[in-house]
Amino acid sequence: MMRIKFLVFAALLGAGMASAAEDPPESCRPKMAGSALALAADAEAAQLQCDVDRAKQLVNRSERLAAGSSEPVIRIVDTASPSGAAYIYDVIGTGPSYWLSAHSVPGDETERSKVPVCKLGTNLPADVSASVEAALATVGSSGLPAYGPREDVSINPDGSRRVVLLLDTHDIITTIKTPDGPRYFSRHARASDEIARINQTIIGVANFSDGWMCDAN
């Protein structure tokens, strides 16, 4: 029950934050989220749909500012950053080599004059491309949960587990192309499972690249 209440709170908090910029997706609005999350069986599916729709909203906003990538095999939408911008990372190609197209999205279109719109295009290193190949080959048939737990788990010196609920809404939404269609995943930025490692690896390439170009407005 505590976990369900947390999901309800997180959905309402996320929807409230989004409304400060523009209307949140229908699936994230308090009335819809509250009723959907009332049932344990539907809680994570409802929150996943909200996160996927938030990511699509950011992609649509980005495409209004500049044309986006076509048919990425992996798309990662990082919904938050210290600057207030979101970031979209598109992995493009058919293997064994892949191209990374990344760009920032202002948290609100009215913020464009304050937050530069930046973009990056670069080849993924061979080891990262190999990780992409492995993910594309296995994720479609894996049992990985679509919505990851919002928990920070650590091991105490005595071997016991310490679990802390993550109340902030720094979510990363990942879309991976599979033979059966796209699979959607939502993870907290501090998650550490296989999907989180894919996110961190690709975002890490972008973070350490010197190829970013920014519109200083």
Residue 32's pLDDT band (cuts 50, 70, 90): low
**Residue-level pLDDT at 73:** 95
**Residue 182 β-bridge partners:** 177
Residue 52's pLDDT band (cuts 50, 70, 90): very high
For residues 123-136, average pLDDT: 94
Backbone phi, psi, residue 69, to 5°: -80, 150
Write the DSSP assignment of 158-212 as a string of letters.
TS-EEEEE--S--EEEEEEEETTEEEEEEEETT--SHHHHHHHHHHHHHHT-S--
For residues 16-24, average pLDDT: 56
pLDDT digits (tens, 9 = 90+) for 131-153: 999 999 998 888 899 998 887 77
For residues 78-89, average pLDDT: 88
Domain count of the chain? 1
Q: Which of 168 and 59 is assigned the larger pLDDT?
A: 59
Q: Is the pLDDT of residue 3 over 80?
A: no
Range name among 16-20, 52-56, 127-131, 180-184 with the lowest pLDDT average: 16-20
Structural domain containing residue 198: 2-215
CA 186/CA 177 separation, integer angstroms = 15
CA 136/CA 164 separation, integer angstroms = 32
Tokens of 186: 């939502």
Q: Which own/partner pairs from 133-138 qualify as long-range (CB within 8 Å, at least 24 positions apart)? A: 133/95, 133/96, 135/74, 135/176, 135/194, 135/198, 136/73, 136/74, 136/95, 136/176, 136/177, 136/178
